[in-house]
Structure 1
Amino acid sequence: MIKLYGHELSGNVYKIRLLLALLEIEYEFVPIDVFKGEHKTPEYLKLNPFGQIPVLIDGDKVFPDAQAILVYLARQYGTEQWLPTEAESLSRVIRWLSTTAGEIRQGVESARLFHFFKVRTIDIDAATQKSAFILDLINRHLADREWLELEHPTIADIAAFPYIALAPDGQVSLEEYPYIVAWIERIKRLPGFVGMPGIEAVTTA
C-alpha cells in the first residue's frame, strides 16, 4: 500500500491527499510532526535529504516533492485528464506546477507561514506584494475559463489550489478575486473531494 508522510496542516501534503482521494487510491498516512523536528531526523532524511514534506512511498519507490508526486500519481494511476501526454497540453499543465513552486510559494504560501505558523524570517511585505501579483494574474486568467488549463481539471489545479484557498490564513483576502473564488468552489465539488483544516468540503443537504 502507498504510504504518505506529512503533516495535516501542510498545503503541500494536502494536495497529495486530495489527488489520492480524487483517484480513489487507498493509502496509509504517516504523520510527521514538523514542530518537533521529525522531518529532520536521520531516518526521515534517508527518505528526503532536503528534510521536507511530503514524501510518498509506493512499493520500493520513494518520491519527495509535492509537485513531483502529483506527476507520478497522475501518470501511474490517473488518466489523460490529469496529466496529458500531448506536448502542448502537457507544457501548459507543467507551467502551473512551476508557478506553484515559484510565485504561489513566494506569495500566499509564505504569507501563511508568517501569520499562521509565525515564521518571522519571512519578508512579509514581499510576500504580500507577490500574493497580490499572482492572485490578480490568476483571477484574470480564470475570467473566461473554468480550469487553469484545458477544458477539465488537471494536476495544475490540484497543485495551485491549496495555498490559494488557504490565503486567508496568511491574512490575504480573496474578496477581490471572484473568478478565483468560483474556481475554488468548482474544485470543492469534484467527486471525491476531501478538505483539510482551513478548507471545508462542500456539504449537501
Structure 2
Amino acid sequence: MIELYEFDISGNCHKVRLLLSLLNISYQSIELNRTEREQKSAEFLAKNSFGQVPVLKDGDLIIRDSQAILVYLARAYGEEKWFPNDAVQAAEITQWLSTAANEIAHGPAALRAHHKLGRAINLEAANQITQNLLNILEAQLAHKDWLATDNLTIADIAVYPYIALANEGKVDLADFPAIRKWLGRIEKLDGFVSMAGIELQS
C-alpha cells in the first residue's frame, strides 16, 4: 500500500491527500510529530535528505516534493487528462506547478506560516507577491473553469490548498469572484477532501 508521510497542517500535504482521494487510491497516512521535528530524524532523512514533508512511498519507490508526487500519481494512476502527454498542455500545467513552488510558497503560504505559526517573514514582500498572484489568477480564471487546460488537472490541485487557506494568512478573497468560483468547483468534486482552516465556498 502507498504510504504518505505528512503533517495534517500542511497545504503541500493536503494537495497530495486531495489527489489520492480524487483518484480513489487507498493509502496509509503516517503523521510525523512536527513539534518534535520528526522530519529531521535520521530515520526520516533516509527517506528525504531535505527533511521535509510530504514524502510518498509506493513499494520500493520514494518520492519527495508535493509537485513531483502529483506528477507521479497522475501518470501512474490517473487518466491522461491529469497530466497530458501533449507537449503544450504539459508545459501549461508545469508552469502552474512552478507557481505553486514559488509565488504561492513565498506569498499566501508564507503569510499563513507567519500569522498562524508565528514564522518570521518579509511581510511586505509576501503581501505584494500575494496580491500580484491573486490578480493573475483572477484574470486566468475569469473566462476559464480550470487553470491550465479545459479540464481539471494537477495544476489546479497544486494551486488549490494555499489559496483555499488564504484566510489563515489574513488574505481576503472577497474581491476575487473568479477565484472563489474556481475553489467552489474543486470543492464540489466527487472525492474532494478538506482540511482544517479551509473555509469552503460551497
The TM-score bracket by the shorter chain reads over 0.9
TM-score (norm 2): 0.97
1:106 aligned onto 2:73: no
Q: Kindly tell me the number of residue pairs found equivalent between the two proteins.
A: 202
The Cα of 1:150 is off from its aligned counterpart by 1.1
Cα-to-partner distance string for 1:113-150 (whole Å, 9 max, x where unaligned): 10011112x11111111100101110111000000011
**Counterpart of 2:177?**
178
Cα-to-partner distance string for 1:18-42 (whole Å, 9 max, x where unaligned): 0000000000000012222111000
TM-score (norm 1): 0.96
Same amino acid, percent of matched pairs: 46
**Counterpart of 2:7?**
7
Give the ranges of 4+ consecutive aligned residues of structure 1 lying more than 2 Å apart after TM superposition: 199-203
**Counterpart of 1:89?**
89
Contact 1:193/1:201 (CA < 8 Å) preserved in 2?
no
Taking a change above 3 Å as real, the CA distance of residues 160 and 29 of structure 1, as seen in their structure-2 partners, is same
Q: Which amino acid aligns with 2:192?
A: F
**Counterpart of 1:40?**
40
**Counterpart of 1:73?**
73
Q: Which amino acid aligns with 2:36?
A: K
Cα-to-partner distance string for 1:28-59 (whole Å, 9 max, x where unaligned): 00001222211100001111100110000000
Cα-to-partner distance string for 1:139-168 (whole Å, 9 max, x where unaligned): 111000000011111000000000011011
**Counterpart of 1:60?**
60
**Structure 2: runs of 5+ lacking an equivalent:** none
Q: Which amino acid aligns with 2:143?
A: D
CA distance, structure 1, for counterparts of residue 136 and residue 35 of structure 2: 34
Give the match's secondary structure for 2:3: strand
Contact 1:16/1:66 (CA < 8 Å) preserved in 2?
yes
What RMSD in Å do the two structures reach over aligned CA positions? 1.1
Give the match's secondary structure for 1:84: coil
